[in-house]
Amino acid sequence: MKKNKAKASGAVERDLVFGFKAGQHQCELKVPLQFPVKDNVSDLHGRLMLLHKIPCFVEDELRSSLSSFVETNSIRDYDREAELALSRLSSGDTDINGLTNAWAKAYAETSLEHARPEEASWDEDFAEVYHELIHSPASETLLNLEHNYCLSIAELIGERDMELKQLQERQASEMTSVMQELGNTLSDQDVNTVASQHFEARQVLENRWASELKHMSEIQKKEYQEWVIKLHRDLQRASNSSKINEEIMMQPSQMEDSEAGAPLYEEQPLLEESFTIHLGAQLKTMHNLRLLRADVLDFCKHGRHGRGGAKLRRLQTALSLYSSSLCGLVLLVDNRVNSYSGIKRDFATVAVECTDFHFPRVEEQLEVVQQVALYARAQRSSKQRENPEVKRNGAEDKNKHLERNPSNIVPGEFYISRHSNLSEVHVVFHLCVDDHVRLGNITARDPAIMGLRNLLKVCCTHDITTITIPLLLAHSMSEEMTIPWCLKRAELVFKCVKGFMMEMVSWDGGISRTVQFLVPKTISDEMFYQLSNMLPQIFRVSSPLTLTSKH
């Protein structure tokens, strides 16, 4: 039994020599065996018997000598490896401090017994308290309180809008008079001065209102959180005291009479179609799909469903806030993390219409995202410097682009914001897309599509069971979006989402989900119906349950 050759990972080949007597003959069997032995020893035995035509009378003998051979040699290998490690340590090849610290770190990071005690987190405690209260009789009161706070914000916003409007009117009339005088008494210079004065005045006013709003919502948030904590404490202390009930009841319920005069949200002809689908070849999982024509921000604004509906929505959203069935929305944004322009600005406006009592304001969340993005970038580039051979396709030119402005994000990346004050959504995925998606020829490997995939993966890992995706990867119609363009795009997104959903089954074990495909509000009825015809051709719609009497 000699060592033949040692392979990289300690794999060694050794010869088993087995001698036996058959009649007059002295036979010897020599078999090279790979160590560590991977197969089952009895299989090995069976194969040896078969291949070398070993007579059956030595079967048991061979079995025992084979197993003891394997056993002793494996033990020897273990010992050798172990002592090698120990000798490395005593010779100083391995740093004893580094080694033991790594162990200590491993224990501290992974097991509860050795981990550092957790610092109390206000967010999570509040989450727990709120979740408990909202699933108790106090939920009504909570909602009313939230609503009242919302009303005062709305009042403030109304005042702001009024004042802004007045300012605008005043400025407009001033400007007209200035323009009339242009060329006579006033020069271009003067007009510019006036214009910039106007602009400044407007800025000042806007800022004043913004800070007032911020101030007010901060106060509201503080009050609200204190009140929730107090209510919870009281509820815990007294199980059935009438005082609590009074306290719950004390909050006047203004919800019913308040909005009577307020202008109702103008009802768009909302088109919507639902499908139940089955995914999978053998084991099928059921999911719900919905195709709807609406504005993306409709999912954020309150009051889309009339007064009664709004309250129900609000309750629904509040109930599921800390649950494991969250609702998400995909918002397509450009490569800058802020809320200054376009859809980002519109979204931010909607997001401050009510105070968010649970999460930081949108601006603050975005600031954190910017920090995280910078950190991620730094992390990634340091890693790439470490292993320069690992190159991702197309990473080169992107990196060049990024070096110019590291705080910008690239298409396919997305950031996530959390909200408690939107009507139907808890989580907003801000997916970065560029002008490229306007082209008709994007493929399944497009960053935006890959972004969708990652996004759905996050949905899996964080129990987001309802997700709304802009089907055409655009929030509004533009001229290049012809009928063929739309059909092509819809097909691509449908097919990719189907693929991702099939993949998701393996990630989360096939939890039933709802995916809503959103098309812009301005799309034609005809186009909508074409898309809704396309959907069942791509997804397998579950067979309708026909109720017939038994034959």
Partner 1 sequence: MRPLRDAQLGAFTFFASALPHDVCGSNGLPLTPNSIKILGRFQILKTFTHPRLCQYVDISRGKHERLVVVAEHYESSLSDFQRQGKTASPEMVLKVAYEVLEGLEFMNKHGMVHRALAPNNVLMDHKGNLKLAKFGLYYMTDRGGDVDFPIGYPSYLAPEVIAQGSFHASDPSNEEAPLPSGPKSDIWSLGVLLFEMCAGRRLLHNIEISERLKFILTLGCMDDIVTVLAEEHGCLDTIKDLPVNVLELLRKCLIFLPSKRPTPAELLGDEVFNEISCLYMPFQKPLSLFSSSLRCAHLELPEDISDLCKEDYLSERAIDEVYYLWCLAGGDLEKELTNQGIIQSKPPLCTLPKFLLEDGESFGQGRDRSFLLDDTTVTLSLCQLRNRLKDVGGEAYYPLLEEEQSSLPQSASSQDLSTTVTLPLIIRERDTEYQLTRIVLFHRLLQAYPYKRDLVWKDARVDIPPLVRGMAWAALLGIEGDIQAKYEGIDKDTPIPTDRQIEVDIPRCHQYDELLSSPQGHVKFRRVLKAWVVSHPDLVYWQGLDSLCAPFLYLNFNNEALAYACMSAFIPKYLYNFFLKDNSHVIQEYLTVFSQMIAFHDPELSNHLNQIGFIPDLYAIPWFLTMFTHVFPLHKIFHLWDTLLLGNSSFPFCIGVAILQQLRDRLLANGFNECILLFSDLPEIDIERCVHESIKLFSWTPKSATYRQHAQPPKTTAVTDGNGFGRPGTYYFSDYQDMPRTDLSREPLALSELKAELSPRISAEDLIDLCELSLAGGGKRTRAGRPKIVAVDVRSAEDFNRGHLSGSVNLPYSSAFGPDGELVQCPGTGVLHSFRGRVIVVISHFASHLVKVNFPRVCMLDGGIIKMRSTGLLTVPSPQI
Residue in 482, 458, 461 with CA at minimum distance from that of residue 472: 482
Any bridge partners for residue 15, and if so which?
A: 32
- For 254-387, strand residue ranges (E) read 271-279, 285-293, 326-333
Residue in 340, 316, 334 with CA at minimum distance from that of residue 326: 316
Q: What are phi and psi of 368, to 5 degrees?
A: -60, -40
Provide, rounded to whole angstroms, the least separation between the CB of residue 338 and partner 1. 14
Q: What is the DSSP letter of 439?
A: S
Choice between 30 and 80, CB closer to partner 1: 80
Choice between 469 and 481, CB closer to partner 1: 469
Any bridge partners for residue 223, and if so which?
A: none
Provide, rounded to whole angstroms, the least separation between the CB of residue 486 and partner 1. 24
Provide, rounded to whole angstroms, the least separation between the CB of residue 503 and partner 1. 7
Choice between 209 and 507, CB closer to partner 1: 507
Do residues 241 and 251 touch, judged by C-beta distance below 8 A?
no
DSSP, collapsed to helix, strand or coil, labels residue 18 as strand
CA gap 368, 287 in Å, rounded: 35
Provide, rounded to whole angstroms, the least separation between the CB of residue 119 and partner 1. 10
First to last CA, the chain: 77
Choice between 95 and 174, CB closer to partner 1: 95
Choice between 98 and 269, CB closer to partner 1: 98
Provide, rounded to whole angstroms, the least separation between the CB of residue 483 and partner 1. 25
Choice between 219 and 372, CB closer to partner 1: 372
Provide, rounded to whole angstroms, the least separation between the CB of residue 84 and partner 1. 9
Task: Tell me which H or E stretch contains 26.
Answer: strand 25-35
Provide, rounded to whole angstroms, the least separation between the CB of residue 118 and partner 1. 5
Residues 6+ positions from 421 with CB-CB distance below 8 Å: 150, 351, 353, 354, 355, 356, 357
Do residues 37 and 44 touch, judged by C-beta distance below 8 A?
yes
Choice between 189 and 506, CB closer to partner 1: 506
CA gap 409, 371 in Å, rounded: 12
Provide, rounded to whole angstroms, the least separation between the CB of residue 171 and partner 1. 40
Choice between 129 and 352, CB closer to partner 1: 129
